Chain A
Amino acid sequence: MRAFVTVVGQDKVGIIAAICILLAEKNVNILDISQTILQDCFTMIMLVDASECAVPFAELRDRLAELGAKMALTIRIQREEIFDAMHKI
């Protein structure tokens, strides 16, 4: 199952590192990363494969959200299909 992790917030040291550690711990493979900084607002989009994830999807979502709260960022994970459904015909 592929999903997008999106991270939005104030740029700081260690954002990508912290998220990658968490994803690795849960056995989630990163397929692609893109990031931009617009007026100090850090935006990162990560395509991941969560089919071998060690925990249920809802728990992974909660762990990422908790990490986001700790780092004053908004971190979400959503299955790829919702973006495809909305933007591809």
Chain B
Amino acid sequence: MINQGEILQTIRMIDRQHLDVRTITMGISLRDCAHSDIALSCGKIYDKICRLAGDLVKTGESIEAEFGIPIVNKRISVTPIALIAESCDAADYLPFAKALDRAAKTVGVDFLGGFSALVHKGCTLGDEKLLRSIPEALAETELVCSSVNVGTTRAGINMTAVRAMGEIIKETAYLTRNSGSLGCAKLVVFCNAVEDNPFMAGAFHGIGEPECEINVGVSGPGVVYEALKAAKGQPLDAVAETIKKTAFHITRVGQLVAQEASARLKVPFGVVDLSLAPTPAIGDSVADILEEMGLSSVGAPGTTAALALLNDAVKKGGVMASSNVGGLSGAFIPVSEDAGMIAAARAGHLTLEKLEAMTCVCSVGLDMIAVPGDTPAETLAAIIADEAAIGMVNNKTAAVRIIPAYGKKLGDRVEFGGLLGSAPIMPVNTCSPAEFVLRGGRIPAPMHSLRN
């Protein structure tokens, strides 16, 4: 029998330290749903999602009940819709978004990702139509998330698409102005997007993925934070060791849940994504971990180094705990979803520029950042370009999820509710990058893309 201390430790992690499985995400290929008739294609999409994911929520709930581990979200990711939709002549892809939304509601999932296009080297006609449909799709659906990949280390950055994304984000903010420009929280612009990410809003089922699979995202910043409290004053290599051990425990739970879900749903297991994903709850914050390492506030000099240590130790600890690790895997730093980040941003200790530096060493990028509603589209595009350049040159995933909250200005605050939290409006450098952005074209791939 396992010892009493270990049993109580597990219970403490779940009960007091917010250990949870953040998401079970079912990836579904929709490649057999393309059709020249848009109504037929949408019908096939709806039917396929309902058929494959019909038991997803129920299964998640039964695993939750039996193992006593909260599974916060059940989600679906699908093949980037541009690939499916371009077989039909329709100019507007809104009906696809609505079909996805209906299917997500029928099966009862929290979110569905994949209203997406991969345009890192250029747009097909279908990609262009999808991009144009994004603002309305996000305004007229509730559960659909969208993502666009605008760059890769291999292909460089499609700056024409980056420019378009600046405008699309502005339009999405306007169309969803009555809900704090919430639509932008469901839209991610990627460089080096991964194909098996279970986390929203950037999940999609990549074209190299199987017919259907289960990916699981674990969480647990609170557990790491509590473990570090016990390592007060110790050197940083001891801190890294503590994080590794904790990440191992957390990931083992993710692996167990993934195997159970996969067996019960008779769907192959894909990956465990071992990301530390904060929530607005007190004690479930990545910022708290960085501050526990000895920073008076996240954003202070040293933050990037502390985050680099954290991100690396999480991976090292988690990788042995799972048979397949994938997705984004690392530490997320969404501002609005992390009580410590919110506090630091409000106090002016955490700036957009520092966050950009942090994204060089974290798992994703500029995430859930609210900026003034009058931020020009070109400035948003330039922020995306900077982030994409970090991803491209460093051979890592980088992303931007930014909310130019309509009608809001510095000092205001925008509330999204639930896991999306609330965000203080952060200042943006007002020097114009318009001429640079309006050039369009491509930023060529870096020298180290030529690895063959």
Which A residues fall within an 8 A CB radius of B?
Answer: 1, 3-4, 6, 8, 32, 34, 36, 43, 45, 47, 57-58, 61, 76-88
Contacts and interface: CB of A to CB of B under 8 A. Distances in A.
A81 B4 contact: no
Given A61-B65, A78-B68, A86 B8 contact: no
- Chain B CB within 10 A, most for which of A1, A36, A82: A82
Contacts of A86: 6, 10, 249, 252-253
A46 to B, nearest CB: 11
B410 interface: no
B11 A58 contact: no
A57 B11 contact: no
A87 B4 contact: no
Nearest to A80: B2
Nearest to B5: A87
A6 B10 CA distance: 11
Interface string B1-30: 110101111110000000000000000000
A45 B7 contact: yes
B256 interface: yes
B62 A58 contact: yes
Given A4-B7, A6-B11, A45-B7, A82 B67 contact: yes
A83 B7 contact: yes
B188 interface: no
B67 A79 contact: yes
Interface in B42-101: 61-62, 65-69
Contacts of B11: 6, 8, 76
B379 interface: no
Interface residues of B, number: 21
Nearest to A34: B4
B447 to A, nearest CB: 42
A88 B253 CA distance: 12
Contacts of A4: 7
Given A6-B11, A58-B62, A82 B69 contact: yes
Given A78-B66, A82-B10, A86-B10, 11 more contacts: A6-B11, A43-B4, A43-B8, A45-B4, A58-B61, A76-B68, A77-B68, A78-B69, A82-B69, A84-B2, A86-B249
A75 B256 CA distance: 23
B67 A58 contact: no
Given A32-B1, A88-B2, A6 B8 contact: yes
B84 to A, nearest CB: 37
Interface of B, secondary structure class, is helix
Nearest to B61: A58
B291 to A, nearest CB: 26
A57 B252 contact: no
A11 B253 CA distance: 31
B6 A87 contact: yes
A85 B321 CA distance: 9
Contact of A85 (B8, B65, B252): B252
B279 interface: no
Interface string B250-276: 001101100000000000000000000
B44 to A, nearest CB: 35
A57 B62 CA distance: 9
A85 B1 contact: no
A88 B62 CA distance: 24
Contacts of B249: 86-87
B2 to A, nearest CB: 5
A81 B256 CA distance: 8
Contacts of B66: 1, 3, 57-58, 78-79
Contact of B253 (A32, A43, A76, A82): A82
Contacts of B252: 85-86
A83 B7 CA distance: 6
A78 B62 CA distance: 12
Contacts of B256: 81-82, 85
A85 B2 contact: no
List the 4 closest A-B pairs by CB distance, nearest first.
Answer: A78-B68, A58-B65, A85-B256, A87-B6
B10 A87 contact: yes
15 contacts: A1-B66, A6-B7, A43-B4, A45-B4, A45-B8, A58-B61, A76-B11, A78-B66, A82-B67, A82-B68, A85-B253, A85-B256, A87-B6, A87-B9, A87-B249
A56 B400 CA distance: 45
Contacts of B69: 78, 82
A78 B67 contact: yes
A57 B67 CA distance: 10
A56 to B, nearest CB: 9
Contact of B1 (A3, A47, A82): A47
B272 to A, nearest CB: 12
A80 B11 CA distance: 12
